[in-house]
């Protein structure tokens, strides 16, 4: 149930493909019947102004622990076989991927529900902070969008 913080651009679907190959090597093919993949990427607009870039800050150590705790909670709540979380930090441009959450399970309900749970918990508890660059200068994002 790995968690990765990445400073540079990452390709979420390659990450999923590579991790799934490793997962199949570890647990054997045919063990999961459902996998869900959520990818969050950067918009070029937000509440007030066009956003030309963004910086994502995090708390090294605590951020990874928070994401690991969230993954473990999901595994306790649903019959999940494995999870993968990748989150970008540093300087980010519109269209870049920011976050990847992937879940593998025997059936679809657990894969859907656990993925949503991980994503919502990440947004409310994992220590990351966004600062947007707009025509008016840098602006810290103060709250998350509703969903």
Partner 1 sequence: MSISVKFFARLREELNMDEAQLEHVTGLTALQVWQKITGQPALPPKTLIAVNQEYASEDIVINDNDEVAFFPPVTGG
Residue 39 token pair: 């990818």
Looking only at residues 55 through 94 of this chain, which bind partner 1 when binding is defined by CB under 8 A? 56-59, 61-62, 65, 87
- Nearer residue to partner 1 within complex by CB, 80 or 101: 101
Return the percent helix, strand and coil in the chain, to nearest 5: 35, 35, 30
Q: Is 9 in the site for partner 1 (CB under 8 A)?
A: no
The distance of closest approach from Cβ of residue 60 to partner 1 in the complex, given in angstroms and rounded to an integer, is 10
How many angstroms separate the CA atoms of 73 and 87, rounded? 18
Q: Is 98 in the site for partner 1 (CB under 8 A)?
A: yes
How many angstroms separate the CA atoms of 136 and 120, rounded? 30
Q: Which stretch binds partner 1 (CB under 8 A): 8-16, 53-61, 73-81, 104-112?
A: 53-61
One of 31, 40, 43, 96 touching partner 1 (CB under 8 A): 40
Question: Which string of x and - marks every residue 124-143 that binds partner 1 (by CB under 8 A)?
Answer: xxxxxxxx--------xxxx
Residue 94's contacts (CB-CB under 8 Å, 6 or more residues apart) are: 42, 43, 44, 51, 52, 53
């Amino acid at each position: 149930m790995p968690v990765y913080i990445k400073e540079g651009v990452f390709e979420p679907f390659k990450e999923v493909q590579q991790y799934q190959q490793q997962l199949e090597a570890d647990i054997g093919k045919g063990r999961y019947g459902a996998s869900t993949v959520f990818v969050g990427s950067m918009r070029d607009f937000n509440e007030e102004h066009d956003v030309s870039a963004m910086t994502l800050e995090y708390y090294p150590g605590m951020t990874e622990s928070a994401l690991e705790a969230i993954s473990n909670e999901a595994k306790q709540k649903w019959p999940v076989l494995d999870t993968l979380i990748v989150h970008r930090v540093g300087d980010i441009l519109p269209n870049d991927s920011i976050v990847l959450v992937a879940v593998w399970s025997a059936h679809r309900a657990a894969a859907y529900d656990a993925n949503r749970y991980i994503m919502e918990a990440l947004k409310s508890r994992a220590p990351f902070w966004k600062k947007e660059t707009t025509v008016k200068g840098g602006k810290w994002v103060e709250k998350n969008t509703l969903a």
